[in-house]
Amino acid sequence: MAPIPYDQRDGFIWMNGALVPWRDAKIHVLTHALHYGSGVFEGARIYDGEVFSLTKHSERLHASAQILGFEIPYSVAEVDQACRDIIKAQGLAEGYIRPIAWRGSEEMGVAAKHTRINLAVSCWDWGSYFPESEKFKGIRLCMANYRRPDPATAPSRAKAAGLYMICTIEKHRSMDLGYADALMLDYRGLIAEATGANVFFIKGETIHTPEPDCILNGITRQTVIALAQRRGFNVIVRQIKPEEMADFEQCFLTGSAAEVTPVSEIGDYRFTVGDITKTLMDDYSAYARPSARAERKLSLAV
């Protein structure tokens, strides 16, 4: 069954301070962000009616806007509250939330200093990011053609809409080739990230993940590093060359949507879904969910 188009759903969307009926939350075709990519966004999951790491996401939204040269006219606390308000209005216990800030339609052209900065927050029911059937046996990735840009070339550390242009191209190409996703290298030819998730590798009891110097420093990535360290695993954040994949035994992706997803294959390299990956999948799903976190008395200094 085809999914219901995203502009034809019911309920409300928080838009510039008001709860707007879902189908009326529209923008004009001459919106700066549509033409010039002047938008930043967040994606977080809702567990037991609460956004996991809500304030971290709201802070990152603000930081991304600042990198793009604009300020969101709502404080971090107000963005947090907008998220809580829309979840309540939608009555959502489990799902995904998408705050987005963008330059409006008051000016057109590269210069857009006087455009209104808009903020909208939507949330909806969203299941597994990767097919549930593949998730537990490990997903298959191909290698991407495009590379993550040099921070001197693009605002790499922002979660900016424009940076996803190459991600959508690569995600579509991977799907056309029968894969679940693509692994991108960075501008230096080092391992970077998947099209919407960070990557980790395991050899023995040691976990390796790329330095977040030109990739998104994922909130899930930071949480999983802390969960792994709490278990006593050695986590090494470093530059990783693609040919090193031959030596790694396990691999997984992390992301708010992807959570912890095991990987069985990247191009010519094969991985097993081993115990450490399974432990971290389980730890993350317990830590992310308030009821399970309380039950297991899990706390982290992230």
Distance of alpha carbon 136 from alpha carbon 262, whole angstroms: 7
Residue 170 within binding range of ligand PMP, rule CB under 6 A: no
Closest CA to 167 of 148, 154, 151: 148
Lay out the site mask for ligand PMP across 37-56 (x = CB under 6 A, - = otherwise). ------x-------------
Q: Which residue in the list 26, 56, 135, 159 is annotated as catalytic?
A: 159
Distance of alpha carbon 219 from alpha carbon 293, whole angstroms: 17
Choosing from 31, 174, 256, 261, the residue that interacts with ligand PMP (CB under 6 A) is 256
Contact (CB, 8 A) for 15 and 118: yes
Q: Which is nearer to ligand PMP, 58 or 198 (CB)?
A: 198
297 catalytic, yes or no? Answer: no
Distance of alpha carbon 228 from alpha carbon 205, whole angstroms: 10
Residue 197 within binding range of ligand PMP, rule CB under 6 A: yes
Locate 288 and state its tokens.
């992310």
Residue 221 within binding range of ligand PMP, rule CB under 6 A: yes
Residue number of the CB closest to ligand PMP reads 218
Contact (CB, 8 A) for 259 and 129: yes
Residue 218 within binding range of ligand PMP, rule CB under 6 A: yes
Choosing from 170, 181, 193, 283, the residue that interacts with ligand PMP (CB under 6 A) is 193
Q: Contact region for ligand PMP (CB under 6 A) — 76-84, 105-113, 214-222, 238-246?
A: 214-222
**DSSP readout, 51-99?**
ETTHHHHHHHHHHHHHHTT---SS-HHHHHHHHHHHHHHHT-SSEEEEE
Q: How far is the CB of 107 from ligand PMP (least distance, A)?
A: 28
Residue numbers at the binding site for ligand PMP (CB under 6 A): 43, 193, 196-198, 216, 218-221, 254-256
Residues annotated as catalytic (active site), given as ranges: 159
